[in-house]
Amino acid sequence: MIEARLEPIRRTAPLARELDGTHPLVLIRTDDEASLRDECFDALPSTVVIRSWTALRGLTESRLVSDPIRDTESPAGALAWLALRAPTERAVNIFYDLTPHLDDARTCRALREAVDAARRSFGVIVLAERAPRLPLLLDGEAHHWSPPIPDRQELEDAVRNALREARKTRQVKTEVSRRTLDAMIRALGGLTRRQAERVVLGAIADDDRLDASDLDRLVVLKRNALGELGGVLEFVQAPVALDEIGGLASLKRWLRVRNGSLSEEARAFGLAPPRGVLLLGVQGAGKSLAAKAVASAWGLPLMRLDAGALFDKFIGESERRLRDSLQQAERMAPAVLWIDEIEKGFASVGGHTSDGGVSRRMFGSLLTWMQERRAPVFLAATANDISALPPELMRKGRFDEIFFVDLPQAPVRRVIAEIHLRKRGRNSSQFDLDAIAAASEGASGAEIEAAVEAGLLHAFADDRRDARTEDIVSVLRTSRPLSVVMAEHVASLRAWAATRCVPAD
Protein backbone atom coordinates (compact mmCIF):
# COMPACT_ATOMS: atom_id res chain seq x y z
CA MET A 1 0.00 0.00 0.00
CA ILE A 2 1.15 3.53 -0.73
CA GLU A 3 0.31 4.64 2.81
CA ALA A 4 2.67 2.00 4.22
CA ARG A 5 5.60 2.92 1.99
CA LEU A 6 5.55 6.71 2.22
CA GLU A 7 6.15 8.87 5.25
CA PRO A 8 5.47 12.59 5.57
CA ILE A 9 8.36 14.93 4.94
CA ARG A 10 9.74 16.43 8.16
CA ARG A 11 11.60 19.68 7.67
CA THR A 12 12.34 22.59 9.97
CA ALA A 13 11.47 25.43 7.57
CA PRO A 14 8.00 26.87 8.32
CA LEU A 15 6.65 26.27 4.83
CA ALA A 16 8.13 22.76 4.66
CA ARG A 17 6.24 21.84 7.84
CA GLU A 18 2.98 23.06 6.36
CA LEU A 19 3.54 21.04 3.16
CA ASP A 20 4.85 17.82 4.71
CA GLY A 21 1.72 15.83 3.80
CA THR A 22 0.01 16.08 7.17
CA HIS A 23 -2.60 18.38 5.62
CA PRO A 24 -3.65 17.37 2.09
CA LEU A 25 -5.42 20.72 1.50
CA VAL A 26 -3.58 23.90 2.52
CA LEU A 27 -4.94 27.40 1.99
CA ILE A 28 -2.18 30.03 1.88
CA ARG A 29 -3.17 33.67 1.98
CA THR A 30 -0.57 35.68 0.07
CA ASP A 31 -0.21 38.30 -2.63
CA ASP A 32 3.45 37.44 -3.21
CA GLU A 33 3.28 34.48 -5.56
CA ALA A 34 6.92 34.78 -6.64
CA SER A 35 8.20 34.48 -3.06
CA LEU A 36 5.89 31.52 -2.39
CA ARG A 37 7.14 29.73 -5.50
CA ASP A 38 10.80 30.39 -4.64
CA GLU A 39 10.33 29.26 -1.05
CA CYS A 40 8.72 26.02 -2.23
CA PHE A 41 11.80 25.27 -4.32
CA ASP A 42 14.09 26.05 -1.36
CA ALA A 43 12.06 24.27 1.33
CA LEU A 44 11.04 21.04 -0.39
CA PRO A 45 13.50 18.27 -1.29
CA SER A 46 14.15 17.56 -4.94
CA THR A 47 12.32 14.23 -4.69
CA VAL A 48 9.01 16.08 -4.28
CA VAL A 49 7.23 16.97 -7.51
CA ILE A 50 6.02 20.59 -7.60
CA ARG A 51 3.26 21.52 -10.00
CA SER A 52 1.51 24.84 -10.44
CA TRP A 53 -1.79 25.78 -12.03
CA THR A 54 -3.13 29.05 -13.39
CA ALA A 55 -6.18 29.66 -15.53
CA LEU A 56 -3.88 30.88 -18.30
CA ARG A 57 -1.34 28.05 -18.45
CA GLY A 58 -3.06 25.07 -16.88
CA LEU A 59 -1.18 22.48 -14.78
CA THR A 60 2.61 22.54 -15.25
CA GLU A 61 5.48 20.79 -13.53
CA SER A 62 7.34 23.72 -12.00
CA ARG A 63 10.79 22.19 -11.49
CA LEU A 64 11.10 21.52 -15.20
CA VAL A 65 10.76 23.70 -18.28
CA SER A 66 7.85 21.82 -19.76
CA ASP A 67 4.57 22.32 -21.57
CA PRO A 68 1.34 22.31 -19.58
CA ILE A 69 -0.37 18.99 -19.07
CA ARG A 70 -2.98 18.55 -21.76
CA ASP A 71 -6.63 19.43 -21.00
CA THR A 72 -5.86 21.04 -17.63
CA GLU A 73 -6.53 24.70 -18.46
CA SER A 74 -9.94 24.49 -16.79
CA PRO A 75 -9.87 24.10 -13.00
CA ALA A 76 -12.15 21.06 -13.11
CA GLY A 77 -9.92 19.43 -15.73
CA ALA A 78 -6.74 20.02 -13.72
CA LEU A 79 -8.27 18.66 -10.51
CA ALA A 80 -9.76 15.67 -12.33
CA TRP A 81 -6.31 14.85 -13.71
CA LEU A 82 -4.87 14.90 -10.18
CA ALA A 83 -7.72 12.78 -8.84
CA LEU A 84 -7.79 10.16 -11.59
CA ARG A 85 -4.61 10.14 -13.67
CA ALA A 86 -1.75 11.67 -11.70
CA PRO A 87 1.20 9.43 -10.78
CA THR A 88 1.32 8.24 -7.17
CA GLU A 89 4.58 10.02 -6.29
CA ARG A 90 4.55 12.62 -3.56
CA ALA A 91 3.66 16.00 -5.07
CA VAL A 92 2.80 19.53 -4.03
CA ASN A 93 0.28 21.05 -6.44
CA ILE A 94 -0.11 24.83 -6.16
CA PHE A 95 -3.30 26.38 -7.55
CA TYR A 96 -3.31 30.16 -7.94
CA ASP A 97 -6.68 31.97 -7.65
CA LEU A 98 -8.76 28.80 -7.68
CA THR A 99 -11.38 29.76 -5.07
CA PRO A 100 -13.48 31.97 -7.40
CA HIS A 101 -14.05 28.83 -9.53
CA LEU A 102 -15.38 26.77 -6.61
CA ASP A 103 -18.91 28.07 -7.07
CA ASP A 104 -19.09 25.50 -9.86
CA ALA A 105 -20.34 22.18 -8.42
CA ARG A 106 -18.18 20.07 -10.78
CA THR A 107 -15.00 21.96 -9.82
CA CYS A 108 -15.81 21.69 -6.12
CA ARG A 109 -16.40 17.95 -6.45
CA ALA A 110 -13.16 17.51 -8.40
CA LEU A 111 -11.23 19.33 -5.69
CA ARG A 112 -12.62 17.04 -2.99
CA GLU A 113 -11.59 13.93 -4.96
CA ALA A 114 -8.16 15.41 -5.73
CA VAL A 115 -7.67 16.05 -2.01
CA ASP A 116 -8.58 12.43 -1.25
CA ALA A 117 -6.02 11.25 -3.82
CA ALA A 118 -3.36 13.55 -2.32
CA ARG A 119 -4.08 12.22 1.16
CA ARG A 120 -3.27 8.66 0.05
CA SER A 121 0.19 9.65 -1.20
CA PHE A 122 1.08 12.29 1.42
CA GLY A 123 0.69 14.86 -1.30
CA VAL A 124 -0.64 18.38 -0.89
CA ILE A 125 -2.96 20.63 -2.83
CA VAL A 126 -2.16 24.26 -2.11
CA LEU A 127 -4.62 27.08 -2.77
CA ALA A 128 -2.62 30.31 -3.02
CA GLU A 129 -5.05 33.21 -2.71
CA ARG A 130 -4.98 36.92 -1.97
CA ALA A 131 -8.50 37.01 -0.49
CA PRO A 132 -9.70 33.41 -0.07
CA ARG A 133 -13.40 32.55 0.13
CA LEU A 134 -13.82 28.79 0.48
CA PRO A 135 -17.24 27.14 0.37
CA LEU A 136 -18.39 26.01 3.81
CA LEU A 137 -18.14 22.38 2.66
CA LEU A 138 -14.37 22.77 2.18
CA ASP A 139 -13.48 25.44 4.71
CA GLY A 140 -13.45 23.00 7.62
CA GLU A 141 -11.18 20.61 5.74
CA ALA A 142 -8.57 23.16 4.67
CA HIS A 143 -5.54 23.98 6.79
CA HIS A 144 -5.13 27.77 6.78
CA TRP A 145 -1.65 29.25 6.80
CA SER A 146 -0.16 32.67 6.14
CA PRO A 147 3.54 33.28 5.48
CA PRO A 148 5.28 34.70 8.56
CA ILE A 149 5.74 38.46 8.59
CA PRO A 150 9.34 39.42 7.67
CA ASP A 151 11.66 40.20 10.56
CA ARG A 152 13.73 43.38 10.86
CA GLN A 153 16.63 42.04 8.83
CA GLU A 154 14.36 40.92 5.98
CA LEU A 155 12.68 44.35 5.92
CA GLU A 156 16.09 46.05 5.86
CA ASP A 157 17.02 43.83 2.91
CA ALA A 158 13.74 44.87 1.23
CA VAL A 159 14.67 48.56 1.60
CA ARG A 160 18.10 47.95 0.11
CA ASN A 161 16.66 45.85 -2.74
CA ALA A 162 14.14 48.57 -3.55
CA LEU A 163 16.96 51.12 -3.73
CA ARG A 164 18.93 48.89 -6.09
CA GLU A 165 15.87 48.43 -8.32
CA ALA A 166 15.13 52.15 -8.39
CA ARG A 167 18.73 53.00 -9.34
CA LYS A 168 18.47 50.85 -12.45
CA THR A 169 16.23 53.44 -14.10
CA ARG A 170 16.81 56.76 -12.26
CA GLN A 171 19.23 58.78 -10.16
CA VAL A 172 18.23 58.35 -6.53
CA LYS A 173 19.64 60.46 -3.71
CA THR A 174 19.70 58.89 -0.26
CA GLU A 175 20.28 60.42 3.15
CA VAL A 176 19.42 57.59 5.50
CA SER A 177 21.09 57.35 8.87
CA ARG A 178 20.93 54.21 10.99
CA ARG A 179 18.24 55.85 13.09
CA THR A 180 16.18 56.78 10.03
CA LEU A 181 16.57 53.28 8.60
CA ASP A 182 15.33 51.80 11.88
CA ALA A 183 12.31 54.12 11.78
CA MET A 184 11.60 53.05 8.18
CA ILE A 185 11.77 49.39 9.18
CA ARG A 186 9.29 50.03 11.99
CA ALA A 187 7.00 51.84 9.55
CA LEU A 188 7.13 48.87 7.17
CA GLY A 189 6.34 46.32 9.88
CA GLY A 190 3.46 44.00 9.02
CA LEU A 191 4.07 44.03 5.27
CA THR A 192 5.35 41.13 3.23
CA ARG A 193 8.79 41.57 1.74
CA ARG A 194 7.35 42.26 -1.69
CA GLN A 195 4.86 44.78 -0.31
CA ALA A 196 7.66 46.52 1.58
CA GLU A 197 9.73 46.83 -1.59
CA ARG A 198 6.77 48.30 -3.48
CA VAL A 199 6.10 50.81 -0.70
CA VAL A 200 9.73 51.97 -0.67
CA LEU A 201 9.73 52.24 -4.47
CA GLY A 202 6.57 54.34 -4.24
CA ALA A 203 8.20 56.71 -1.76
CA ILE A 204 11.27 57.04 -3.99
CA ALA A 205 9.15 57.70 -7.10
CA ASP A 206 7.74 60.93 -5.66
CA ASP A 207 11.02 62.89 -5.76
CA ASP A 208 13.84 60.43 -6.56
CA ARG A 209 14.96 60.62 -2.93
CA LEU A 210 14.86 58.46 0.15
CA ASP A 211 15.38 60.24 3.47
CA ALA A 212 13.73 61.01 6.80
CA SER A 213 11.07 63.14 5.11
CA ASP A 214 9.64 59.95 3.56
CA LEU A 215 8.60 58.39 6.88
CA ASP A 216 5.05 59.77 6.82
CA ARG A 217 4.74 58.85 3.15
CA LEU A 218 5.75 55.26 3.94
CA VAL A 219 2.91 54.98 6.46
CA VAL A 220 0.38 56.26 3.89
CA LEU A 221 1.67 53.88 1.21
CA LYS A 222 1.64 51.03 3.71
CA ARG A 223 -2.01 51.74 4.47
CA ASN A 224 -2.78 51.62 0.76
CA ALA A 225 -0.82 48.38 0.36
CA LEU A 226 -2.82 46.69 3.09
CA GLY A 227 -6.06 48.00 1.60
CA GLU A 228 -9.52 48.32 3.11
CA LEU A 229 -11.69 45.61 4.63
CA GLY A 230 -15.10 46.08 3.08
CA GLY A 231 -16.20 48.97 5.27
CA VAL A 232 -15.55 47.15 8.57
CA LEU A 233 -12.07 48.57 9.21
CA GLU A 234 -11.20 51.98 7.83
CA PHE A 235 -8.11 54.11 8.11
CA VAL A 236 -8.67 57.60 9.54
CA GLN A 237 -6.16 59.91 7.88
CA ALA A 238 -6.54 63.12 9.87
CA PRO A 239 -7.22 62.57 13.57
CA VAL A 240 -7.70 65.74 15.59
CA ALA A 241 -4.99 67.16 17.83
CA LEU A 242 -5.36 67.35 21.58
CA ASP A 243 -5.59 71.15 21.56
CA GLU A 244 -8.64 70.88 19.30
CA ILE A 245 -10.63 69.27 22.14
CA GLY A 246 -11.99 71.30 25.02
CA GLY A 247 -11.73 69.77 28.48
CA LEU A 248 -10.79 66.12 29.16
CA ALA A 249 -7.82 67.33 31.19
CA SER A 250 -7.42 64.07 33.12
CA LEU A 251 -7.47 61.95 29.97
CA LYS A 252 -4.98 64.27 28.26
CA ARG A 253 -2.55 63.97 31.17
CA TRP A 254 -2.92 60.18 31.07
CA LEU A 255 -2.06 60.15 27.36
CA ARG A 256 0.91 62.51 27.69
CA VAL A 257 2.49 60.38 30.44
CA ARG A 258 2.25 57.31 28.18
CA ASN A 259 3.46 58.97 25.00
CA GLY A 260 6.05 56.68 23.38
CA SER A 261 5.12 53.72 25.56
CA LEU A 262 4.35 51.55 22.49
CA SER A 263 7.89 51.97 21.16
CA GLU A 264 10.74 49.47 21.24
CA GLU A 265 12.65 51.83 23.52
CA ALA A 266 9.87 51.56 26.10
CA ARG A 267 9.94 47.76 25.91
CA ALA A 268 13.73 47.78 26.29
CA PHE A 269 13.26 50.00 29.34
CA GLY A 270 11.06 47.29 30.86
CA LEU A 271 7.66 48.88 30.28
CA ALA A 272 4.67 46.85 29.20
CA PRO A 273 2.79 48.58 26.38
CA PRO A 274 -0.57 50.13 27.39
CA ARG A 275 -3.49 48.03 26.22
CA GLY A 276 -6.30 50.53 25.84
CA VAL A 277 -9.01 52.73 27.30
CA LEU A 278 -12.80 52.49 27.38
CA LEU A 279 -14.52 55.85 27.03
CA LEU A 280 -18.05 55.98 28.43
CA GLY A 281 -20.32 58.97 28.49
CA VAL A 282 -23.13 61.07 27.17
CA GLN A 283 -23.64 61.21 23.42
CA GLY A 284 -21.85 64.17 21.86
CA ALA A 285 -19.64 64.81 24.89
CA GLY A 286 -16.41 64.14 22.98
CA LYS A 287 -15.70 60.42 23.30
CA SER A 288 -15.05 59.90 19.61
CA LEU A 289 -12.89 63.01 19.42
CA ALA A 290 -10.87 61.75 22.37
CA ALA A 291 -10.38 58.35 20.74
CA LYS A 292 -9.09 60.05 17.60
CA ALA A 293 -6.83 62.31 19.61
CA VAL A 294 -4.97 59.31 21.07
CA ALA A 295 -3.42 58.72 17.65
CA SER A 296 -2.47 62.36 17.24
CA ALA A 297 -1.01 62.58 20.75
CA TRP A 298 1.19 59.56 20.09
CA GLY A 299 1.87 60.09 16.37
CA LEU A 300 0.40 56.73 15.36
CA PRO A 301 -1.86 55.60 12.51
CA LEU A 302 -5.52 55.32 13.44
CA MET A 303 -7.98 52.64 12.31
CA ARG A 304 -11.69 52.64 13.04
CA LEU A 305 -13.60 49.36 13.45
CA ASP A 306 -17.35 49.64 12.92
CA ALA A 307 -18.66 47.06 15.37
CA GLY A 308 -22.17 47.22 13.96
CA ALA A 309 -20.95 46.33 10.46
CA LEU A 310 -19.27 43.09 11.54
CA PHE A 311 -22.39 40.96 11.24
CA ASP A 312 -23.15 39.19 7.98
CA LYS A 313 -25.94 36.86 6.94
CA PHE A 314 -23.58 34.15 5.68
CA ILE A 315 -22.37 31.50 8.12
CA GLY A 316 -18.84 32.14 9.33
CA GLU A 317 -18.53 35.48 7.56
CA SER A 318 -18.99 37.62 10.70
CA GLU A 319 -16.23 35.78 12.54
CA ARG A 320 -13.97 36.11 9.49
CA ARG A 321 -14.57 39.84 9.34
CA LEU A 322 -13.56 40.29 12.96
CA ARG A 323 -10.54 38.02 12.61
CA ASP A 324 -9.33 39.79 9.47
CA SER A 325 -9.86 43.21 11.04
CA LEU A 326 -7.78 42.35 14.10
CA GLN A 327 -5.04 40.82 11.96
CA GLN A 328 -5.01 43.93 9.79
CA ALA A 329 -4.69 46.13 12.87
CA GLU A 330 -1.71 44.08 14.08
CA ARG A 331 -0.03 44.44 10.70
CA MET A 332 -0.27 48.23 11.05
CA ALA A 333 1.27 48.17 14.55
CA PRO A 334 2.27 50.28 16.33
CA ALA A 335 -1.17 51.78 15.85
CA VAL A 336 -4.41 52.80 17.54
CA LEU A 337 -7.55 50.74 16.93
CA TRP A 338 -10.73 52.68 17.59
CA ILE A 339 -13.92 50.63 18.11
CA ASP A 340 -16.76 53.12 17.96
CA GLU A 341 -19.93 52.34 19.95
CA ILE A 342 -18.66 48.93 20.93
CA GLU A 343 -22.01 48.01 22.50
CA LYS A 344 -23.57 47.82 19.01
CA GLY A 345 -21.46 44.82 18.16
CA PHE A 346 -21.62 42.86 21.40
CA ALA A 347 -24.67 44.05 23.36
CA SER A 348 -26.61 40.83 22.72
CA VAL A 349 -23.96 38.53 24.21
CA GLY A 350 -25.56 38.34 27.62
CA GLY A 351 -29.12 37.73 26.42
CA HIS A 352 -30.95 35.12 24.42
CA THR A 353 -30.44 35.65 20.72
CA SER A 354 -31.37 33.79 17.58
CA ASP A 355 -28.05 34.30 15.80
CA GLY A 356 -26.80 30.76 16.42
CA GLY A 357 -24.13 31.87 18.88
CA VAL A 358 -22.35 34.21 16.46
CA SER A 359 -22.32 37.09 18.97
CA ARG A 360 -20.83 34.93 21.71
CA ARG A 361 -18.14 33.49 19.45
CA MET A 362 -17.17 36.91 18.18
CA PHE A 363 -17.12 38.36 21.69
CA GLY A 364 -14.94 35.49 22.86
CA SER A 365 -12.53 36.09 19.99
CA LEU A 366 -12.33 39.79 20.82
CA LEU A 367 -11.67 39.12 24.53
CA THR A 368 -8.96 36.59 23.69
CA TRP A 369 -7.29 39.06 21.35
CA MET A 370 -7.50 41.87 23.92
CA GLN A 371 -5.91 39.68 26.59
CA GLU A 372 -3.24 37.88 24.58
CA ARG A 373 -2.17 40.14 21.72
CA ARG A 374 1.54 40.86 21.51
CA ALA A 375 1.54 43.46 18.75
CA PRO A 376 1.62 47.09 20.01
CA VAL A 377 -1.98 47.95 19.14
CA PHE A 378 -3.69 50.38 21.53
CA LEU A 379 -7.45 49.88 21.76
CA ALA A 380 -9.65 52.97 22.19
CA ALA A 381 -13.29 51.91 22.57
CA THR A 382 -16.28 54.20 23.03
CA ALA A 383 -19.71 53.35 24.43
CA ASN A 384 -22.91 55.26 25.13
CA ASP A 385 -24.90 52.57 26.98
CA ILE A 386 -22.87 50.84 29.68
CA SER A 387 -25.79 48.60 30.67
CA ALA A 388 -25.62 46.94 27.25
CA LEU A 389 -21.99 45.83 27.66
CA PRO A 390 -21.09 42.36 28.99
CA PRO A 391 -19.30 42.58 32.37
CA GLU A 392 -16.38 40.49 31.06
CA LEU A 393 -15.39 43.37 28.81
CA MET A 394 -14.64 45.65 31.75
CA ARG A 395 -12.60 43.22 33.81
CA LYS A 396 -9.11 44.43 34.75
CA GLY A 397 -6.58 43.49 32.11
CA ARG A 398 -8.88 44.24 29.18
CA PHE A 399 -8.41 48.02 29.45
CA ASP A 400 -5.85 50.04 31.35
CA GLU A 401 -8.52 52.53 32.41
CA ILE A 402 -12.22 53.32 32.04
CA PHE A 403 -12.90 57.03 31.64
CA PHE A 404 -16.27 58.73 31.99
CA VAL A 405 -16.81 61.66 29.62
CA ASP A 406 -19.43 63.90 31.22
CA LEU A 407 -21.15 67.01 29.89
CA PRO A 408 -18.73 69.99 29.92
CA GLN A 409 -18.76 72.53 32.71
CA ALA A 410 -18.90 76.29 32.04
CA PRO A 411 -15.11 76.88 31.63
CA VAL A 412 -14.89 73.97 29.21
CA ARG A 413 -17.99 75.10 27.29
CA ARG A 414 -16.28 78.46 26.86
CA VAL A 415 -13.19 76.78 25.38
CA ILE A 416 -15.34 74.60 23.09
CA ALA A 417 -17.17 77.67 21.72
CA GLU A 418 -13.83 79.40 21.15
CA ILE A 419 -12.43 76.39 19.27
CA HIS A 420 -15.41 76.14 16.91
CA LEU A 421 -15.50 79.88 16.24
CA ARG A 422 -11.80 79.79 15.39
CA LYS A 423 -12.31 76.80 13.09
CA ARG A 424 -14.80 78.88 11.13
CA GLY A 425 -12.48 81.81 10.69
CA ARG A 426 -13.93 84.01 13.45
CA ASN A 427 -12.02 86.09 16.00
CA SER A 428 -13.33 84.72 19.29
CA SER A 429 -12.45 87.96 21.12
CA GLN A 430 -15.34 89.62 19.28
CA PHE A 431 -17.83 87.26 20.96
CA ASP A 432 -19.02 87.11 24.56
CA LEU A 433 -17.80 83.60 25.31
CA ASP A 434 -19.08 83.77 28.90
CA ALA A 435 -22.60 84.45 27.63
CA ILE A 436 -22.37 81.53 25.22
CA ALA A 437 -21.10 79.28 28.04
CA ALA A 438 -23.98 80.33 30.29
CA ALA A 439 -26.60 79.79 27.58
CA SER A 440 -25.21 76.33 26.80
CA GLU A 441 -25.81 74.91 30.30
CA GLY A 442 -26.44 71.17 29.93
CA ALA A 443 -25.28 71.09 26.29
CA SER A 444 -22.69 68.68 24.95
CA GLY A 445 -19.70 69.69 22.88
CA ALA A 446 -21.45 68.50 19.73
CA GLU A 447 -24.50 70.63 20.59
CA ILE A 448 -22.34 73.72 21.13
CA GLU A 449 -20.69 73.15 17.77
CA ALA A 450 -24.12 72.82 16.13
CA ALA A 451 -25.21 76.09 17.80
CA VAL A 452 -22.16 77.94 16.46
CA GLU A 453 -22.85 76.57 12.99
CA ALA A 454 -26.54 77.54 13.18
CA GLY A 455 -25.70 81.04 14.47
CA LEU A 456 -23.40 81.66 11.52
CA LEU A 457 -26.06 80.31 9.18
CA HIS A 458 -28.62 82.80 10.55
CA ALA A 459 -26.17 85.67 10.07
CA PHE A 460 -25.46 84.55 6.52
CA ALA A 461 -29.18 84.39 5.73
CA ASP A 462 -29.66 87.86 7.22
CA ASP A 463 -28.06 89.74 4.34
CA ARG A 464 -24.60 88.16 4.87
CA ARG A 465 -23.88 90.26 7.96
CA ASP A 466 -21.22 89.40 10.55
CA ALA A 467 -22.26 86.86 13.14
CA ARG A 468 -22.86 88.08 16.69
CA THR A 469 -23.03 86.52 20.12
CA GLU A 470 -26.81 86.87 20.09
CA ASP A 471 -27.10 84.60 17.05
CA ILE A 472 -25.48 81.71 18.91
CA VAL A 473 -27.16 82.39 22.25
CA SER A 474 -30.57 82.49 20.57
CA VAL A 475 -30.03 79.05 19.07
CA LEU A 476 -28.93 77.61 22.42
CA ARG A 477 -31.94 79.02 24.26
CA THR A 478 -34.50 77.74 21.77
CA SER A 479 -33.23 74.15 21.52
CA ARG A 480 -33.44 71.44 24.16
CA PRO A 481 -30.15 69.66 24.84
CA LEU A 482 -29.98 65.89 25.04
CA SER A 483 -29.40 66.12 28.79
CA VAL A 484 -32.94 67.49 29.13
CA VAL A 485 -34.61 65.27 26.55
CA MET A 486 -33.04 62.13 28.09
CA ALA A 487 -32.57 63.39 31.64
CA GLU A 488 -33.29 60.03 33.28
CA HIS A 489 -30.78 58.19 31.08
CA VAL A 490 -28.05 60.78 31.73
CA ALA A 491 -28.69 60.67 35.50
CA SER A 492 -28.51 56.87 35.50
CA LEU A 493 -25.26 56.90 33.53
CA ARG A 494 -23.69 59.42 35.90
CA ALA A 495 -24.77 57.41 38.94
CA TRP A 496 -23.23 54.23 37.51
CA ALA A 497 -19.95 55.95 36.62
CA ALA A 498 -19.57 57.81 39.91
CA THR A 499 -17.85 54.91 41.69
CA ARG A 500 -16.64 52.85 38.72
CA CYS A 501 -14.90 55.22 36.31
CA VAL A 502 -12.18 57.85 36.29
CA PRO A 503 -13.52 61.31 35.32
CA ALA A 504 -12.04 62.32 31.95
CA ASP A 505 -12.00 65.97 33.00
Report the SS3 class of residue 223: helix
- Rounded-to-integer distance, Cα 203 and Cα 208, Å: 8
* Topology classification of domain 152-226: Helicase, Ruva Protein; domain 3 (1.10.8)
Rounded CA-CA distance 114/137 in Å is: 15
Distance CA 45, CA 338 (A): 46
Least confident of 70-74, 196-200, 224-228, 423-427: 224-228
Per-residue pLDDT at 353: 52
Q: What is the CATH number of domain 410-485?
A: 1.10.8.60
Question: Residue 437 has what pLDDT?
Answer: 93
Domain limits, the chain: 2-145, 152-226, 233-404, 410-485
- Nearest-angstrom CA–CA distance, 184 and 221: 12
* pLDDT bucket at 315, cuts 50 / 70 / 90: low
258: three-class secondary structure by DSSP: coil
Give residue 341's pLDDT.
83
**Residue 436: band (very low, low, confident or very high) from pLDDT cuts 50, 70, 90:** very high
**Residue 210: which H helix or E strand, with range?**
strand 209-211
Give me the architecture of the 2-145 domain, per CATH: 3-Layer(aba) Sandwich (3.40)
Overall average pLDDT of the 312-329 stretch = 72
- The tens digit of pLDDT for each residue in 374-413 reads 888 999 988 887 777 777 877 777 889 999 988 889 999 9
- Asked, colleague to colleague, whether 152-226 and 410-485 share their fold, the answer is yes
Q: What angle do CA 306, 218, 372 make, to 5 degrees?
A: 45
pLDDT of residue 483: 83
The least confident of 126-130, 321-325, 473-477 is: 321-325
Q: What's the CA gap between 345 and 309, in Å, rounded?
A: 8
β-pairing verdict for 58-61 and 49-54:
antiparallel
Stated pTM of the model: 0.67
CATH fold of 233-404 reads Rossmann fold (3.40.50)
Identify the helix (H) or strand (E) that includes residue 53: strand 49-54
Q: What is the DSSP letter of 69?
A: P
CA 40, 43, 44 angle in degrees (round to 5)?
80
pLDDT digits (tens, 9 = 90+) for 128-185: 988 777 776 777 788 888 777 788 888 899 999 999 999 999 899 988 888 888 888 8
Is pLDDT larger for residue 79 or for residue 327? Answer: 79
Q: What pLDDT score was predicted for residue 347?
A: 59
Total Cβ atoms within 10 A of residue 299: 11
Contact 124, 118 (CB under 8 A): yes
Q: Which amino acid is at 52?
A: S
